[in-house]
Amino acid sequence: MLKIRGQVTRWTAVLALLLASMSSAARAADTRIVFIDSAKIFQDYKLAQEAQQQFDRQVQNWRTEAAEKQKVVDQLRAEMRDQGPILSTVKRQEKEEALQKAIQQYEAFVQEIWGPTGRASQENERTTSEIVNQIRGVVEKLAGEKGLDIVFDAAGGAIVYADRSLDLSAEVVRELNERVGQGTR
């Protein structure tokens, strides 16, 4: 589910461009900059944890279903191997067709779930974007309240060093989790 790297990289790039575009040293001296660690926020945010657990359960169900389909394929292959030489031509052809059908069903299922545009990818994207939007909303709210100009994300790797007192992550997590406790998102 942590498919946030791409979104984090975009945030970091936009913020870096904003910083680079500041024209005067005086403006830079007045700029209030903090950072968050979105990976830590995802780890500590209750709804993100729940979403990850739900996604993991769904993936496990898909894996179980795929294993069952694979088991059918393996069973038909074993039957063909063991019984093929003694089967009549018609029975052998029926078994071969059943095997091919089972293989096609298994492969179609795997593509439907884990293919590039499969259900796993879609569900991951849907859940992740919901969580990212909630985090972004809280970050924007806190930045406005604190008069901040720029908020970087340390998870993107663009921050080599920052004073920990500038880390807004704990406040973001606290606010997000308070919203969960109040029943709002």
Which of 86, 103, 118 lies at the terminal end of a domain, its last residue?
118
Question: What mean pLDDT value characterizes the chain?
Answer: 84
Which of 96, 118, 140 lies at the terminal end of a domain, its last residue?
118
Q: Specify the pTM.
A: 0.70
Q: CA-CA distance, 100 to 2, in Å (whole number)?
A: 37
Report CA-CA distances (Å) from 97 to 106, 107, 124, 152. 14, 15, 36, 58
What would the mean pLDDT of 169-180 be, rounded to a whole number? 91
- Return the pLDDT at 1: 46
Amino acid identity at 136: R
130 plus 109 within the same structural domain: no
Range of the domain at 147: 5-50+121-182
Give residue 135's Cα distance to chain centre. Answer: 14
Q: CA-CA distance, 92 to 1, in Å (whole number)?
A: 45
Q: CA-CA distance, 183 to 112, in Å (whole number)?
A: 35
127 plus 36 within the same structural domain: yes
- Domain count of the chain? 2
135 plus 173 within the same structural domain: yes
> What CATH number does the domain containing 130 carry?
3.30.910.20
Q: CA-CA distance, 87 to 39, in Å (whole number)?
A: 59
What would the mean pLDDT of 130-155 be, rounded to a whole number? 90
Q: CA-CA distance, 16 to 150, in Å (whole number)?
A: 9
Q: Determine which of 62-66, 76-80, 177-181 has the lowest per-residue pLDDT on average.
A: 177-181
Whether 9 contacts 124, CB under 8 Å: no
Most distant CA pair in the chain: distance in Å? 90
